[in-house]
């Protein structure tokens, strides 16, 4: 018999409706709380028959059943934070507000009123009852439509988002986050107001309609981080990043647009070890094949990105690169995450055009390599540093994004190779891309053979 090894984890509670489609409500909340590092508990307020295309039926539980669940959780668990979602009716809102007032844990109030599909999830009479619950909130997280109902301000720009958030503070909330998923065009802007001032969280808008569960995931992730001890600002910052990844790498399920993946951040971390192992296998293959003809003066690096990678720290590479030796090639040190900057930024920029790309390597680029590339049946793209705008050159780390964008926009398909002729002080380089480690090895070895012919 093995020794038990229990883990001490913060506990969060969601008081919300059930989504039979699994994309929003309690189901989404539990996933997001787990991804944020908390143990998720629940008090179900309503049962909905819904899917990725809409809500078909709603059955609100008796108030006594809702409060019984709530009381059962707080009697047994040390709840570090809680969130509210779909409350549906005025009696449920009022009963939950009473319980929240008596609970010594910060409450995140997500005033769920309408589903992403447009289906109404809150009785109009219950809107007035929300004022009491908002007054008990450590944070209230309305989208633009919900903020308009609660405050009478239509927040269709940053100024009005700020005004709406500050109005929610006047209603008694300790903090208010007016989310920007329904506001603006190319950027998403969330505005947080607290007694210390206003803070803005801004990021790129993801080109997808698969936003089912976004609000639930955000508020639940904030609750999870509050339970873990973060400040409101810290919790919001981490939750916004979690949601951005959840939307970009959404679940392609159902006949509708799909649903956000609240576990995307956990999946990214789980993919790190196999990604690092794959990079090590690529390095071993290059050492065995002796690809010294392709190693540039600056050294070669192999980079692998996890399937949901969003940052250099989420890419594995060779620390110190691969260099030529008297007997062939060898890595200077082992594989670790964040070991590459140049090739990693190139790969991440390439993934903006084709998220299926996972691996990249930089190789020498000269006349022999150029001739070899011309003889291979590959899509080859290029960028010219002489055309790089001065403002890009002066921004640290911007060249890779600019060059990659120029290269990808110059060809109709995802390129196998991207050439950079270099400039004074910058060695000419060709970078090869692949969706998997085996394909990267095959492409490098094919180029090596072509150079040797």
- The model's pLDDT over 350-406, given as tens digits with 9 standing for 90+, comes to 999 999 999 999 999 999 999 999 999 999 999 887 777 766 665 655 777 888 999
The answer to whether the CB of 243 falls within 8 A of the CB of 221 is yes
**Beta 11-19 vs 39-51: how paired, if at all?**
parallel
Q: Which of 234, 245, 242, 13 is nearest to 108 (CA)?
A: 13
What pTM was computed for the model? Answer: 0.89
Count of C-beta atoms within a 10 Å radius of residue 43: 24
DSSP-assigned states of every residue in 339-405: --SHHHHHHHHHHTT-TT--EEEEEE-SHHHHHHHHHSS--EEEE-GGG--HHHHTSTT-HHHHHHH
Q: Mean pLDDT over all residues of the chain?
A: 91
Name the band, by pLDDT with cuts 50, 70 and 90, for residue 170. Answer: very high
User: Residue 325: pLDDT above 70?
Assistant: yes
pLDDT digits (tens, 9 = 90+) for 248-267: 999 999 898 899 999 999 99
CATH 3.40.1190.20 domain span(s) along the chain = 11-263
* pLDDT for position 393: 63
At residue 379, φ and ψ (nearest 5 deg) are: -80, 120
pLDDT digits (tens, 9 = 90+) for 124-154: 666 777 888 999 999 999 998 889 888 889 8
* pLDDT for position 389: 75
pLDDT digits (tens, 9 = 90+) for 22-44: 999 999 999 999 999 999 999 99
Which residue carries 């998403």 as its tokens? 188
SS3 label, residue 338 = coil
User: First-to-last CA distance in the chain?
Assistant: 63
Structure tokens at 298: 């600056």
State whether the Cα torsion 133-139-145-147 is positive or negative. Answer: positive
CATH topology of domain 11-263: 3.40.1190
User: Residue 120: pLDDT above 60?
Assistant: no
The answer to whether the CB of 380 falls within 8 A of the CB of 415 is yes
pLDDT digits (tens, 9 = 90+) for 259-313: 999 999 999 999 999 999 999 999 999 999 999 999 999 999 999 999 999 999 9
At residue 47, φ and ψ (nearest 5 deg) are: -110, 125
User: Residue 118: pLDDT above 60?
Assistant: no
Give the span between the Cα atoms of 38 and 10, in whole angstroms.
5
SS3 label, residue 248 = helix
The answer to whether the CB of 241 falls within 8 A of the CB of 217 is no
pLDDT digits (tens, 9 = 90+) for 174-185: 999 999 876 666
Q: 148-156 long-range CB contacts below 8 Å, 24 or more apart? A: 149/111, 149/113, 150/111, 155/183, 155/191, 156/183
CATH 3.40.225.10 domain span(s) along the chain = 271-452
Pick 422 or 3 by higher pLDDT.
3
Arithmetic mean of pLDDT, 166-175: 95
Name the band, by pLDDT with cuts 50, 70 and 90, for residue 78. Answer: very high
84-to-22, 193, 277, 284, 403 alpha-carbon distances in Å: 17, 19, 42, 52, 46
CATH topology of domain 271-452: L-fuculose-1-phosphate Aldolase (3.40.225)
Q: 166-171 long-range CB contacts below 8 Å, 24 or more apart? A: 166/193, 166/198, 168/134, 168/140, 168/142, 168/193, 169/193, 169/194, 169/195, 171/131, 171/134, 171/135
Task: Count Cα neighbours of 45 within 13 Å in the Cβ-side half-sphere.
Answer: 24
195-to-16, 144, 286 alpha-carbon distances in Å: 28, 21, 58
User: Residue 119: pLDDT above 70?
Assistant: no
Q: Which of 261, 259, 340 is nearest to 299 (CA)?
A: 340
């Amino acid at each position: 018999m093995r020794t038990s090894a229990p883990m001490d984890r913060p506990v969060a509670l969601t008081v919300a409706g059930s989504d039979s489609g699994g994309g929003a409500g309690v189901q989404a909340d539990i996933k997001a709380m787990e991804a944020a590092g908390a143990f998720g508990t629940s008090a179900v307020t309503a049962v909905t028959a819904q899917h990725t295309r809409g809500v078909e039926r709603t059955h609100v539980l008796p108030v006594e059943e809702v409060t019984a669940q709530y009381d059962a959780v707080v009697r047994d668990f040390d709840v570090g934070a809680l969130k509210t979602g779909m409350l549906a009716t005025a009696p449920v809102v009022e009963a939950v507000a009473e319980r929240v007032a008596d609970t010594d844990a910060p409450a995140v109030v997500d005033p769920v009123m309408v589903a992403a599909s447009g289906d109404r999830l809150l009785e109009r009479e219950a809107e007035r009852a929300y004022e009491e619950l908002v007054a008990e909130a450590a944070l209230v997280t309305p989208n633009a439509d919900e903020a308009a109902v609660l405050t009478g301000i239509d927040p269709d720009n940053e100024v009005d988002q700020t005004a709406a958030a500050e109005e929610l503070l006047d209603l008694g909330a300790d903090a208010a986050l007016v989310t920007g998923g329904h506001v603006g065009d190319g950027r998403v802007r969330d505005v947080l107001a607290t007694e210390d001032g206003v803070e803005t969280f801004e990021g790129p808008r993801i080109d997808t309609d698969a936003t089912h569960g976004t609000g639930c995931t955000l508020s639940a992730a904030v609750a999870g981080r509050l339970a873990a001890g973060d400040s409101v600002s810290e919790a919001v910052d981490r939750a916004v990043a979690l949601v951005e990844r959840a939307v970009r790498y959404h679940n392609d399920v159902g006949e509708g647009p799909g649903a956000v993946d609240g576990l995307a951040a956990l999946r990214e971390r789980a993919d790190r070890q196999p990604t690092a192992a794959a990079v090590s296998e690529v390095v071993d293959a290059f050492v065995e094949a002796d690809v010294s003809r392709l190693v540039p003066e600056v050294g070669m690096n192999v980079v692998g990105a996890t399937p949901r990678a969003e940052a250099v720290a989420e890419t594995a590479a060779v620390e110190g690169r691969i260099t030529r030796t008297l007997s062939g090639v060898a890595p200077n040190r082992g594989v670790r995450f964040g070991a590459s900057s140049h090739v990693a930024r190139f790969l991440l920029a390439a993934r903006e055009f084709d998220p299926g790309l996972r691996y990249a390597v930089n190789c020498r680029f000269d006349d022999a390599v150029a001739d070899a590339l011309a003889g291979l049946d590959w899509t080859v793209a290029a960028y010219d540093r002489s055309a790089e705008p001065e403002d890009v050159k002066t921004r640290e780390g911007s060249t890779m994004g600019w060059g990659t964008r120029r290269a990808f926009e110059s060809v109709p398909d995802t390129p196998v190779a991207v050439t950079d002729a270099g400039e004074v002080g910058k060695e000419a380089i060709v970078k090869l891309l692949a969706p998997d480690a085996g394909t990267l090895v095959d492409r490098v070895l094919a180029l090596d053979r072509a150079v040797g012919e």
